[in-house]
Structure 1
Amino acid sequence: MQTPSDHVPAVLDGPGVAVSDPKDLLLGYLHWYRQALMRKIDGLSDEQLRTPVQPLGWSPLGLVKHLGWVERRWMRWGFAAEDVLAYPPGGDEGEWSLPTNQSAAEVLDDYRAEVMRTQALVAEASLADPARTGGRFRTPEDAPTLGRIMFHLLQEYARHVGQLDIARELIDGQTGE
């Protein structure tokens, strides 16, 4: 039985325990979840990456593709109001599915490019900065701050990486952190 004097400090995921700046915390946790996403697909064969996991109905690579679109929608189209395609042709089906001619490397490269664009946009901004209008948000009253958008991205990653834990266990029995 542990006593208070036997207290062992908890190991935390995400940024270091000394990090307290809200922007650094958000960036640190997003970075951790992006790395967790890659850890959870590491070692899967191309077939395992591409095959929808039942009963979930999506593949691990389809989830990566979806998260790339999420980054694009919320940061490029949303926060920066860039004139970009926000949804793929075919809607949700197109966002989660993988054409046979689209390689795993292409999906991962597309995802990494969206993450790099997000990082560039965030580096130049404050959490209090509102999203620009003209893209996803039409009026200043509809435009959330970067902080609100980043919290949304964080919850997307937390939810989906947790779902990927379940998918990976169904695929090959491997469990995550």
Structure 2
Amino acid sequence: MTMPPERVPAVLDGPGVQVSDPRELLLGYLDWYRDALMRKISGLPDERLRAPVEPLGWSPLGLVKHLGWVERRWIRWGFAAENVVAYPPGGDEAEWGVPNGQPAGEILAAYHDEVSRSRALIAEAALDDRARVGGRFPTPEQAPTLGRILFHLLQEYARHVGQLDVVRELLDGQKGE
């Protein structure tokens, strides 16, 4: 029996349907959501990228900025225990806010830089490798595995990209995936 065209299931998002390796699935979905973040803001004029959406209080560009900090905190400071600034001076306002004079391209470049660094730091690591001690995690007992960290990142992206779907629909009526 053939399904009517309106009932045919959509092709799965993320990695290919033949992928079953947990690492490849996790990294594939994480990259899919990173790309989805860029798709969701594509085409927005600068003023809409920057303007906080009420009642949320954050802008699409502010969300990109936040996710760059999330990448830094969980991979560089967390997994790799790099000695980096994990939270911007000025707290949430600085992490989510977009100063008037800061070009959108600068924020996007900083985000892409954090993603590139994350990819490089985890390229050769196994999912069961534990985070190094000394950054986010002061003791071996507190250090999660890379798999746990990546799963946390994935849920963070999924939640925020879903929120961005709503924001985009409020801004210009464009519906999400």
TM-score range, shorter chain: over 0.9
Q: Which digits, 9 at most, give the CA deviation of each residue in 1:31-79, with x for residues without a partner?
A: 1101110010000011000000111110000000000000000000000
**What's the counterpart of residue 34 of structure 1?**
34
CA offset at residue 10 of structure 1? Answer: 4.2
* Corresponding position: 1:48 with 2:44: no
Residue 84 (structure 2) pairs with residue 84 (structure 1): yes
Deviation at 1:176, TM superposition (A): 1.2
Letter in 2 for 1:159: R
Question: Which amino acid is the alignment partner of residue 143 of structure 1?
Answer: A
Encode CA deviations 1:111-155: one digit per residue, 9 max, x unaligned: 000000011111120000000000000000000000000000000
What is the identity, as a one-letter code, of the residue corresponding to 2:33?
Y
Q: 1:172 — aligned with what?
A: 172
- 1:59-74 equivalence runs, <5 A: 59-74=59-74
Distance 2:55 2:156 in 1: 20
Q: In the alignment, which residue of structure 1 is the partner of 2:12?
A: 12
* Cα displacement string for residues 91-113 of structure 1 (whole angstroms, at most 9, x for unaligned residues): 11110001122110000000000
Matched residue, 2:132: 132
Q: What TM-score does the superposition give when structure 1 sets the normalisation length?
A: 0.95
Equivalent in the alignment of 2:108: 108
Secondary structure, aligned partner of 1:105: helix
In structure 1, runs of 5+ residues without a counterpart are none
Identity %: 75
User: Structure 1 residue 6: deviation in Å?
Assistant: 1.7
- How far, CA to CA, are the matches of 2:42 and 2:12 in structure 1? 22
Distance 1:96 1:10 in 2: 34
Please, what is the CA RMSD of the aligned residues? 0.9
Matches within 5 A, 1:121-160: 121-160=121-160
Residues 9/44 of structure 1: CA separation in 2 closer, same or farther (3 Å cut) = closer
SS of 2:70's equivalent in the other structure is helix
